[in-house]
Amino acid sequence: MSEERPTSDAAQEETADEVRFEETHATDDDAWATACAEDLAAEKARRRAQHGPPPGSAAEELRKLVDAVADKLSGLQSPLFGAVAGGTAQQVVNQVVQQAKAAVEPVLERNPEVFDHLAAAGSELLAAYRSAVENQERRWTTRSTDSRDDEPGPGEHIDLD
């Protein structure tokens, strides 16, 4: 036979209480997570409505820039070329735009994360430059011009009379 003892009613009630506590605790955790997710979604929607859509990756932004420049150049009518050369000039511009797009697209497709790294590196370089300039400006503005007149210079004063 089995060595298991039948459990008493008190032990069964404790086990049932533990199960109820765990279910309630799990439900509370889920409720908290659900509430947090809802709050986060509402905040994102509010910011999107206030500021517009967030910027994409650096590769997407470069693609948008190339497209915008290409559209602007394609629609540009130059009065410098005249009526006869205008059609030829427009064809040359369109060809250059298409070649630029053809050169940029494969790079964007193969290595989109490279542009994110380049953007981050550019931001770091800008921050370092800004820090250096601010430090130099601080040194320039804290110098007192009066102190130079009172202190003797490195040279010796010679009276010529």
What is the C-alpha separation between 99 and 141, in angstroms, rounded?
51
Q: Of how many residues is the chain composed? A: 161
Q: Are the C-beta atoms of residues 73 and 79 closer than 8 Å to each other?
A: no
| Residue 68 confidence (pLDDT) | 86
Q: Are the C-beta atoms of residues 74 and 85 closer than 8 Å to each other?
A: no
| Residue 41 confidence (pLDDT) | 93
| pLDDT band, residue 1 (cuts 50/70/90) | very low
| Residue 84 confidence (pLDDT) | 52
CA dist list (Å): 131 to 53, 120, 134, 136: 31, 17, 5, 9
| Among the listed residues 99, 120, 101, the one whose alpha carbon sits nearest the alpha carbon of residue 109 | 101
| Among the listed residues 61, 91, 63, 98, the one whose alpha carbon sits nearest the alpha carbon of residue 76 | 91
* 59 burial level (CB within 10 Å; 0-12, 13-18, 19+): buried
Q: Using the 8-state DSSP alphabet, how is residue 108 labeled? A: H
CA dihedral 66, 67, 73, 76 (to 10 degrees): -150
More confident residue, 15 or 3: 15
Whether this prediction's pTM lies above 0.85 is answered by no
pLDDT (tens digit per residue) in 9-60: 555 555 555 655 555 555 666 888 888 899 999 998 888 888 887 777 778 8
pLDDT (tens digit per residue) in 82-135: 555 556 777 777 788 888 888 888 888 888 888 888 888 999 999 999 999 998
